[in-house]
Structure 1
Amino acid sequence: MPIRSFIVDDLTWTHALNEEHTVELSSLTRDGFAELIEKASYVRIAEKETGLLISYDQDGDYSSINFKWFCAVYDNFLYVDRIVISKAARGQGIAGKLYDDLFNFAKAKGYERIVCEVNSDPPNPASDAFHASLGFQIVGEAKLEGKGKTVRYMEKAL
């Protein structure tokens, strides 16, 4: 599946994909989602409306509590805000291709690490296993008050 940069014509389907996965991701209005993408450092999609990865670097204009945790700990990174693959396309290696593209971009730009969080409550064992297979290590944990979630903070040194 080809990976390419996001274009404005992708907004409708990527927003719909995000909203199909609000257990794992946070729900956003269409305008909020468009702003998230506009401010991101890196946005790639898998063609045929199958996947999306959005990332911010350490200087990003982003108010996420999880992003701010990484900003307090590291000074050079790309933060994966969300990666989502359509249910019909799971198991085809698309998430791995999106991450490979991100790793190549990060190395070329001189980033030292990729960071993300994965839900531990409610659990997301598929994401835990996937990130572990890519070499991510757990570097922290936080209970997100008011959101009913606990997350594991993860890092992959480049």
Structure 2
Amino acid sequence: SYDSPNFLWFRERYPRFVYVDRVVVDSKTRGRGHARRLYEDLFEQASRAGQAIVTCEVNAEPPNPASDAFHTALGFVEVGDAVIHGGKKAVRYYARRIAG
């Protein structure tokens, strides 16, 4: 079983969901649409599999405003937050409903 505190947060709240642990794009290739295409493909595959929700988390502390803006632009909405790892990190939880 996967014991990430972020995954477990979603598992306690949603009976079925697709969880994105992280997406990292090299700084030299950012802004070229790679992450957007990856997510669009994920939304399509998840929908075909009958999934209705895609979830992820974004760091709130340390902050990641570019990721917040990116996920909001993709239609994700904030559904919660948490302080984890003994107070060393804070995250915002996002979810996006897709046709399933």
Q: Could you say which TM-score interval applies, normalised by the shorter chain?
A: over 0.9
Q: Provide the aligned length of Structure 1 versus Structure 2.
A: 98
Unaligned runs of at least 5 residues, structure 1: 1-60
Other-structure match for 1:83: 23
TM-score of the pair, normalised by structure 2: 0.94
- Greater than 3 Å deviation, 4+ residue runs: none
Other-structure match for 1:106: 46
**Structure index of larger Rg:** 1
Please give the residue correspondences for 1:62-73 in structure 2 after superposition, counting only pairs within 5 Å.
62-73=2-13
- Percent identical across equivalent pairs? 50
> How far did 1:145 drift?
3.3
Other-structure match for 1:118: 58
Could you say what the CA RMSD is over the residues aligned between the two structures, in angstroms? 0.9
| Paired residue type of 1:67 | F
Higher relative contact order (CA 8 A, sep 6+): 2
1:94 pairs, out of 5, 29, 34, with 34
TM-score of the pair, normalised by structure 1: 0.60
- Residues in 1 aligned to 2:50 and 2:87: alpha-carbon distance in whole angstroms: 34
> How far did 1:147 drift?
5.9
Unaligned runs of at least 5 residues, structure 2: none
